[in-house]
Structure 1
Amino acid sequence: MTDNRWTNFKLTADFNTNVRNIYEAWATPAGLESWFLRQADFFTIVGRQREKDEFISKEDTYSWYWHGFDDNAVENGQVLENNGSDLLKFTFTGGSIVTIDIQNKYGLTLIELTQENIPMEDDPAKNLYVQCQLGWTFYLTNLKSVIEGGKDLRNKRVDVSTSFK
Structure 2
Amino acid sequence: MKTLSFDSFTKKIHIKASMQKLYWCWGTEEGITSWFLRGADYTSANGNRRGAEENIQDGDSYSWRWHNWDGEEKGKVLEANGTDRVVFSFAGDCTVTVTLEDKKEAVLLTLTQANIPTDDDNKLKIFYGCSNGWTFWMANLKAYLEHGIMLNETEFDLSGIELAGYEFVNM
Q: Which residue of 1 aligns with 2:47?
A: 47
SS, match of residue 80 in structure 1: strand
The aligned counterpart of 2:76 is 78
Q: How far does residue 153 in structure 1 lie from its aligned partner after superposition?
A: 1.3
Matched, 1:122 2:127: no
Q: Counterpart in 2 of 1:144?
A: 142
Kept in 2, the 8 Å contact 1:27–1:56? The answer is: yes
SS at match of 1:94: coil
Deviation (angstroms), 1:125? 7.7
Tell me if the contact between 2:23 and 2:83 (Cα under 8 Å) persists in the aligned partners: yes
Distance, in Å, in 2 between the alignment partners of 1:124 and 1:94 is 11
Distance 1:158 1:29 in 2: 24
Offset at residue 123 of structure 1 (A):
3.1
Q: Deviations over 1:109-158 (max 9, x none)?
A: 11011110011122378431111110000000000011111111112257
Mapped to 1, the partners of 2:151 and 2:120 lie a distance apart of 32
What amino acid does structure 2 have at the position aligned with 1:83?
Answer: N
Check whether the contact 2:6–2:127 (CA below 8 A) recurs between aligned residues. Answer: yes
2 CA distance for matches of 1:14 and 1:102?
Answer: 10
Answer yes or no: is the 8 Å Cα contact 1:58–1:82 preserved in 2: yes
Structure 1: 5+ residue stretches without partners:
none
- Does 2:29 correspond to 1:29? yes
Q: Distance in 2 between matches of 1:104 and 1:143?
A: 17
Count of residue pairs the alignment pairs up: 160
Whether the 8 Å contact between 1:65 and 1:74 is mirrored in structure 2 is yes
Cα shift readout 1:27-48 (whole Å, capped 9, x = no counterpart): 0001000111110100011111
Structure 1 counterpart SS, 2:92: helix
Structure 2 equivalent of residue 155 of structure 1: 153
Residue aligning to 1:98: 96
Distance 1:158 1:51, change over 3 A: farther
**What is the identity, as a one-letter code, of the residue corresponding to 2:49?**
Q
RMSD of aligned residue pairs (Cα, Å): 2.0
Mapped contact 2:116–2:122 kept (Cα < 8 A): no
2: CA distance, partners of 1:156 / 1:59: 32
- 2: CA distance, partners of 1:45 / 1:123: 33
Amino acid at match of 1:5: S
Query: What are the Cα deviations for residues 56-76 of structure 1, in whole angstroms up to 9, with x where unaligned?
Result: 000000000000122xx0000
3-state DSSP of counterpart to 1:123: helix
- Distance in 2 of aligned mates of 1:157 and 1:67: 10
The percent identity for this pair of structures is 37
- Contiguous gaps of at least 5 residues in structure 2: none
What amino acid sits opposite 1:29 in the alignment?
E
Match of 1:112 among 110, 113, 124: 110
User: What is the TM-score with the length of structure 2 in the denominator?
Assistant: 0.86
